[in-house]
Amino acid sequence: MTLLNKLLFSLLLCLFWPTASLALENDSTAPIKVSADKAEFQQAKGSAIYTGNVYLQQGSIEIRADKMELIADQGVLKEAYVFGGSEDKQRALLKQKNEDGSWTEGQAEQIHIEQASGDIELKGNARLDDGNSTIKGPLIHYNSRQQTVEAQSDGDNSDRVEMIFKPAATE
């Protein structure tokens, strides 16, 4: 993608990606609940690895995956690595309720979340949907705090970025 195309794409996202869909502020202070078929803890690394039917909930945030690694520092969550199933390239699911009551939902074969910055990377058959707009592609970078989205193709024409904007309802 040329520099001009990247600039135009970024401008389109700023114009059309809704900024009203802000995450609930109290989600980050809610307790984190995790359930899975298996859990493994490595206290020295500050990591916990969950496998098999993984479900995480923190406030309105929900994650469903086949495998997830949480990395913490002194009891504070820093990062999460989330993986879908290996069979048929199943996708992991991340969703969060917005202040307006709608949901933002992301799906990908791999999801990487950095708690402090709000950066979320969806990689492999990625999809991000806020109910009004949908972005699909091999790689999507989303910042939940700044409400920015960047999607990239895989370099060849087989997996390009696709954006779907739903028209606003008229009265």
DSSP state of 170: P
Residue 161's pLDDT is 87
Interior CA angle at 31 toward 27 and 35, to 5°?
110
Describe the chain by its helix, strand, coil percentages, rounded to 5. 15, 55, 35
Query: What is the distance of C-alpha 125 from the center of its chain?
Result: 12
158 pLDDT above the threshold of 50: yes
Q: Which residues are CB-neighbours of 106 under 8 A, at least 6 positions away?
A: 93, 94, 95, 120, 122, 126, 127, 128, 129, 140, 142
Q: Quick one: pLDDT band at residue 1, thresholds 50, 70, 90?
A: very low
What's the pLDDT at 29?
78
3-165 sits in which CATH class? Answer: mainly beta
Residue of 127 and 102 predicted with greater confidence: 127
Q: Domains of the chain: which residue ranges?
A: 3-165
Q: 14-23, 106-115, 155-164: which range is least confident on average? A: 14-23
pLDDT tens string 2-46: 443 443 343 334 333 443 334 556 777 788 899 999 999 988 888
